[in-house]
Amino acid sequence: MAGEDETTTDTAVQSVRIGEDGVSTDGGTAAATPGGGDRSGAESSAPSGAQAPGWAKIVTVVASVLIVALVASGVWLLLEARSAHDRDERRAQFVQAARQTVLNVTTIAAETAHDDVQRILDGATGDFRAEFEGREGPFAEVVQQIDVNSTGEVVEAGVQTEDGPCIASLVAARAVVSNASAPEPSPRDFRLRVTICDEDGQLLASKVEFVP
């Protein structure tokens, strides 16, 4: 009996040792891993590591798209600002031409009548020029005969409408006028609609209309 007990004990010890080395004690075989670790755990973590490069690529693409969008938006805003600046500058030039036309029309003197009328013609085109052209001589003579002296002043001016190469402006003006029958200078207020057109780079008045 003692011999049988020793044999049984030895067999149990060997079974335990085999189990520790990776062989199942119940007769099955367990997967052995270096360092005694579980290989299934290492394999389960592999997919998350493989997905990391994919996410990095997506993030890079999104960032690139955002950068392109920001740059495009900045360029658009810059071009829009320049366009607005050019538009405002163009309008200012047309309004200035309208102001000068009104000054030319409201500033005239008997002593300089011919020069004053010529100045009006030099800045005129279209219908407005047709009103004076060929009549500048008689007009100047009438101014001299009744001894007209008028000094104009622009009170306010601004763009009313735009139509291609032409811009119509409303101009409020005042003229201090005297003549032979009324030698005491007196102010007169006017509102005029002045249409300025760009003709080969020259800003000329095509219409001058009194506005009630």
Residue 182 included in any domain: yes
Please give the helix or strand (H or E) that residue 143 lies within, else none: helix 136-145
- Which residue has better confidence, 132 or 208? 208
Q: Are 211 and 193 in contact (CB under 8 A)?
A: yes
The mean pLDDT of 76-95, rounded to a whole number, is 82
Residue 104 included in any domain: yes
d(CA 109, CA 149): 4
Residue 34 included in any domain: no
pLDDT the model gives residue 164: 92
Taking the model in full, what pTM does it have? 0.63
Residue 175 included in any domain: yes
pLDDT the model gives residue 57: 75
Q: How many domains does the chain have?
A: 1
Position 98 pLDDT exceeds 50: yes
Choose the most confident range, by mean pLDDT, from 1-5, 55-59, 94-98: 94-98
* Separation in Å, CA 182 to CA 146, 148, 173, 189: 10, 9, 21, 17
pLDDT the model gives residue 150: 96
How many DSSP H helices and E strands does the chain contain?
Answer: 6, 5
The mean pLDDT of 57-77, rounded to a whole number, is 73
Confidence band of 68 (pLDDT split at 50, 70, 90): confident
The mean pLDDT of 159-187, rounded to a whole number, is 95
Residue 46 included in any domain: no
Confidence band of 51 (pLDDT split at 50, 70, 90): low
In total, the chain counts a number of residues equal to: 212
d(CA 177, CA 185): 5
The mean pLDDT of 71-81, rounded to a whole number, is 70
pLDDT the model gives residue 61: 72
Residue 72 included in any domain: no
d(CA 42, CA 98): 85
d(CA 151, CA 43): 99
Q: Are 168 and 195 in contact (CB under 8 A)?
A: yes
Q: Which domain holds residue 131?
A: 77-210
> Could you tell me whether strands 186-199 and 149-163 are parallel, antiparallel, or unpaired per DSSP bridges?
unpaired
The mean pLDDT of 199-211, rounded to a whole number, is 95
> Could you tell me whether strands 108-109 and 149-163 are parallel, antiparallel, or unpaired per DSSP bridges?
antiparallel
Task: For residue range 3-43, list pLDDT tens digits in order.
Answer: 444 444 444 444 444 444 444 444 444 444 444 444 444 44
CATH number of the domain that residue 140 is part of: 3.10.450.50
pLDDT the model gives residue 52: 58
Residue 189 included in any domain: yes
pLDDT the model gives residue 132: 84
The mean pLDDT of 116-135, rounded to a whole number, is 93
